[in-house]
Amino acid sequence: MKRTLVRAAVFLTLIGGTAMATTGTASAATCWGRVFDHSKVVQFVSALPQVRYGNHGHSVLLLQLALRDAGYQELQGTGNYASNTLHAVRDFQRKHGIKDSGIVGSKTWHALMDNKSLARQPGFTIYLNPGEHDGDQVSALWDLLSDIYPYSVTGVPWSGTYEPSIQRIVQDFQRRAGIKASGIVGPKTSQALIEAASAMTVRC
């Protein structure tokens, strides 16, 4: 019962729309649980690695999802930087006055991400093993997955347990992000989920 109430509280918080959240000594606007704090976005983007044709993994997945959000709907978020991603990157760079090298460095990352928010921050690293019951951890995982294309948790029964239906989604995400598809959620998967969920533009 307690776990169900926790989940209900999460939904009520999200339905509430725009609010103010305090982080340290500064306040940042939030919308649907996501943080709009430009200084934090700049910090987040500055830590992203250079990405180029032939690369694969979670940074490429973030790139593809951010490009998809920018209008390049042909990108499916495979995690592999192939020719279709190169074409989209070079087109995006030309439109933003950046040398169309196809190499995604600081300028391209900032052009892609500066207008976005950070993902809903769980405030902790998600640790989950298949079958584990932990309402807070599953809730945080659930919220991140719901912001990542093409996943949907609509219709998935909520029990507070890390059930097989959610595990299959996580395993698919891990494959796309270049992480061993064990279904176990730890620091690497947790961080990759937060990065990928930050690719979506939220409009309040």
What does the pLDDT look like over 158-184, one tens digit per residue? Answer: 889 999 999 999 999 999 999 999 999
The reply to whether 82 falls in a domain is yes
Q: Please, which pLDDT band fits residue 121 given cuts at 50, 70 and 90?
A: confident
The reply to whether 172 falls in a domain is no
CA distances for 6 relative to 88, 151, 160, angstroms: 41, 23, 9
The reply to whether 50 falls in a domain is yes
The reply to whether 63 falls in a domain is yes
Q: Which has the higher per-residue pLDDT, 163 or 30?
A: 163
Q: How far apart are CA 60 and CA 129, in angstroms?
A: 26
Q: State if pTM tops 0.75.
A: yes
| pLDDT tens for each residue of 88-112 | 999 999 999 999 999 999 999 999 9
What is the total count of domains within the chain?
1
Structural domain of 70: 39-113
Q: How far apart are CA 2 and CA 134, in angstroms?
A: 11
pLDDT at 154 over 70: yes
Q: How far apart are CA 74 and CA 142, in angstroms?
A: 26
Instruction: Give the position of tokens 């690695």.
Output: 49
Percent of the chain with pLDDT over 90: 61
Q: How far apart are CA 174 and CA 43, in angstroms?
A: 25
The reply to whether 64 falls in a domain is yes
Q: How far apart are CA 18 and CA 132, in angstroms?
A: 32
CATH code of the domain in which 48 resides: 1.10.101.10
The reply to whether 22 falls in a domain is no
The reply to whether 32 falls in a domain is no
Annotate the chain with three-state secondary structure.
Answer: CHHHHHHHHHHHHHHCCEEEEEECCEEEEEECCEEECHHHHHHHHHCCCCECCCCECHHHHHHHHHHHHCCCCCCCCCCECCHHHHHHHHHHHHHCCCCCCCCECHHHHHHHHCCCCECCCCCCCCCECCCCECHHHHHHHHHHHCCCCCCCCCCCCCCCECCHHHHHHHHHHHHHCCCCCCCCECHHHHHHHHHHHCCCCCCC
The reply to whether 7 falls in a domain is no
Query: In what side-by-side order are the strands of the sheet with 26-31?
Result: 18-23, 26-31, 34-36
Burial (Cβ within 10 Å: 0-12, 13-18, ≥19) of residue 63: buried
